């Protein structure tokens, strides 16, 4: 299994909470970026790809012409005839019927929309450029175009959000009948406007919101297959599942990571530097690590425990004490030779995972 991730580092405007690598969209810069992507991709020419994920930033900021160029870079460089999934992230604000049709015709199989909230007031607080009406329009346009595998991202712990408004959000989103939902607790990252404004999400409230979501989505036919992800009809994100199962992937673009031939790489996070360096044949890798057997086992545990299916117990041979500690305190359970989080551990999973480092 080999995945392909392509980072598109452009957004129309930066949201107040976001520290993903993205800068304001400028057409000429995006054209140069695609030329650099094409050149970087040559390193992997002919590789057979199982899943593609085009993320960002906001891939939907690209013009039709630029999307055609991106599709041609993928199709002319890689072997995608056995590809099982192609996902594209969209912001409702830059989604048009024309772009959706193009993606559908380019054999994109899955869309992921950033919605965050159904309340226009919250969307304004977050610095989003769309309202709920615009999201619904983009979403139903996607359905009408023929997409039948759509994810919706929501955030919880938004300033002024209450448990009640969160419950209403989930009830409303359920009516949209999407196949997949991702729920993220708002995290306040350094160097964001939210950080400067000293916004502090209420962790106890976020825990209650998460608990409600787990029960509510289960009652309504969603499978909780990963800590932050729910799917209907087994429409899991195959690409993300490949990360959680510690499989190999190629990452193209600024800030992209790769796990390829036993090395993990990370690319330069500065968009301009990335373009300049690729085009002048200079180094774009800022981090490179050889994955030893020991590291592979640790990563397999840390990534795999995020999945409801858990991790084979054979990987815990060298950390039986940590495993036993968390089985005794009720955070991990062993069933049919697989180690899994218990329900109560899911919201605090990060602190448990860090014990396995």
Ligand X SMILES: C[S@@+](CC[C@H](N)C(=O)[O-])C[C@H]1O[C@@H](n2cnc3c(N)ncnc32)[C@H](O)[C@@H]1O
Interface contacts to ligand X, rule CB under 6 A? 11, 17-18, 20, 55-56, 58, 89, 91, 114, 116, 153, 155, 184, 186-187, 189
**Residue 15 makes contact with ligand SF4 by CB under 6 A:** yes
208: left (phi over 0), alpha (psi -120 to 50) or beta: alpha
Rg (C-alpha) for the chain, rounded Å, is 20
**Dihedral of alpha carbons 126, 173, 85, 246, sign:** positive
Spatial contact of 92 and 130, defined as CB atoms under 8 Å apart: yes
Interface with ligand SF4 includes 14 (CB under 6 A)? yes
CB closer to ligand X, 162 vs 187: 187
C-beta atoms surrounding 206 within 10 Å = 19
Count of CB atoms situated within 10 Å of the CB of 183: 22
Please report the sign of the dihedral spanned by the C-alpha atoms of residue 105, residue 108, residue 109, residue 112.
Answer: negative
Q: Does 56 bind ligand SF4 (CB under 6 A)?
A: yes
**Which of ligand X, ligand SF4, none is residue 14 near (CB under 5 to 8 Å by kind)?**
ligand SF4
> Min. distance of Cβ 291 from ligand X in angstroms?
26
Q: Tokens at residue 203, please?
A: 């962790």
**183 or 352: whose CB is closer to ligand SF4?**
183
With CB under 6 A as the contact rule, which of the stretches 18-26, 212-220, 243-251, 267-275 interacts with ligand SF4?
18-26
Question: Closest approach of Cβ 116 to ligand SF4, in Å?
Answer: 8
d(CA 138, CA 159): 26
Choice from 57, 92, 201, 310 touching ligand SF4 (CB under 6 A)? 57
Instruction: State the binding partner of 155 from ligand X, ligand SF4, none, CB within 5 to 8 A by kind.
Output: ligand X
Which residues, 88 to 107, sit near ligand SF4 by CB under 6 A? 91
**Least distance in angstroms from the C-beta of 6 to ligand X:** 13
Question: Which of ligand SF4, ligand X, none lies near 263, with the C-beta cut-off 5 to 8 A by kind?
Answer: none
> In this structure, are residues 6 and 252 in contact, taking their beta carbons and an 8 Å threshold?
yes
CB neighbour burial string for 212-239, b if at least 16 within 10 angstroms, e if fewer: ebbeebeeeebbbbbbbbbbeeebbbbb
Residue 258 CA to residue 252 CA, distance in Å, equals 8
From the list ligand X, ligand SF4, none, partner contacted by residue 276 (C-beta under 5 to 8 A by kind): none
151 in contact with ligand SF4 (CB under 6 A): no
Question: Measured from the CB atom, is 19 or 276 closer to ligand X?
Answer: 19
Tell which residue, 279, 287, 302, has the closest CA to residue 255.
287
First-to-last alpha carbon distance for the chain, in angstroms, is 25
Q: Find, among 142, 13, 105, 184, the residue nearest to 134 by Cα.
A: 142
Closer residue to ligand X, CB minimum distance, 20 or 44: 20
Choose one: 16-24, 63-71, 133-141, 324-332; the region binding ligand SF4 (CB under 6 A): 16-24
184 binds, among ligand X, ligand SF4, none (CB under 5 to 8 A by kind): ligand X
Q: How many angstroms separate the CA atoms of 315 and 305, rounded?
A: 11
**Is the CB of 51 or the CB of 58 nearer to ligand X?**
58
How many whole angstroms from its chain centre is CA 249? 14
Nearer to ligand X (CB atom), residue 58 or residue 277:
58
The span from the CA of 99 to the CA of 89, in Å, is 12
Q: How far, in Å, CA of 154 to CA of 206, rounded?
A: 13
Closer Cβ to ligand SF4, 126 or 213, answer by number: 126
Residue with smaller CB distance to ligand SF4, 131 or 300: 131
Q: Does 253 bind ligand SF4 (CB under 6 A)?
A: no
Cβ atoms of residues 180 and 238 within 8 Å: no
Q: Which partner, ligand SF4, ligand X, none, binds residue 153 by CB below 5 to 8 Å per kind?
A: ligand X
Kindly state the smallest distance separating residue 151's Cβ from ligand X, in Å: 9
Which residues contact ligand SF4 (rule: CB under 6 A)? 11, 14-15, 18, 20, 22, 56-58, 91, 114
């Amino acid at each position: 299994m080999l995945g392909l991730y392509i980072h598109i580092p452009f957004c129309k405007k930066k949201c107040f909470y976001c520290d993903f690598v993205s800068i304001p969209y400028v057409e000429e810069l995006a054209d140069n970026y695609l030329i650099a992507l094409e050149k970087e991709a040559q390193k992997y020419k002919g590789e057979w790809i199982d899943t593609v994920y085009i993320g960002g930033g906001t891939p939907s900021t690209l013009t039709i012409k630029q999307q055609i160029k991106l599709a041609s870079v993928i199709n002319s460089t890689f072997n995608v005839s056995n590809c099982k999934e192609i996902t594209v992230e969209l912001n409702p604000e830059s989604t048009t019927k024309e772009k959706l049709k193009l993606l559908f015709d380019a054999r994109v199989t899955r869309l992921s929309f950033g919605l965050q909230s159904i309340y226009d007031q919250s969307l304004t607080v977050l610095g989003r450029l769309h309202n709920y009406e615009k999201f619904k329009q983009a979403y139903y346009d996607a359905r009408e175009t023929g997409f039948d595998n759509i994810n919706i991202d929501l955030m919880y712990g938004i300033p002024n959000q209450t448990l009640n408004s969160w419950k209403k959000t989930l009830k409303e989103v359920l009516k949209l009948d999407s196949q997949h939902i991702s729920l993220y607790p708002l995290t306040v990252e350094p160097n964001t406007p939210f950080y400067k404004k000293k916004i502090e999400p209420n962790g106890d409230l976020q825990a209650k919101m998460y608990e409600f979501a787990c029960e509510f989505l289960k009652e309504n036919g969603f499978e909780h297959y990963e800590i932050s992800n729910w799917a209907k009809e087994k429409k899991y994100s195959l690409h993300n599942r490949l990360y959680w199962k510690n499989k190999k992937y190629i990452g193209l673009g600024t800030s992209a990571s790769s796990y390829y031939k036993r090395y993990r790489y990370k690319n330069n996070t500065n968009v301009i530097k990335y373009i300049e360096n690729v085009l002048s044949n200079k180094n774009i890798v800022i981090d490179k690590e050889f994955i030893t057997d020991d590291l592979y086992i640790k990563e397999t545990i840390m990534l795999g425990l995020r999945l409801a299916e858990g991790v084979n117990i054979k990987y815990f041979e060298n950390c039986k004490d940590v495993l036993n500690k968390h089985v005794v305190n009720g955070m991990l359970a062993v069933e049919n030779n697989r180690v899994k989080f218990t329900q109560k551990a899911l919201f605090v999973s990060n602190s448990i995972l860090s014990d396995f480092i």
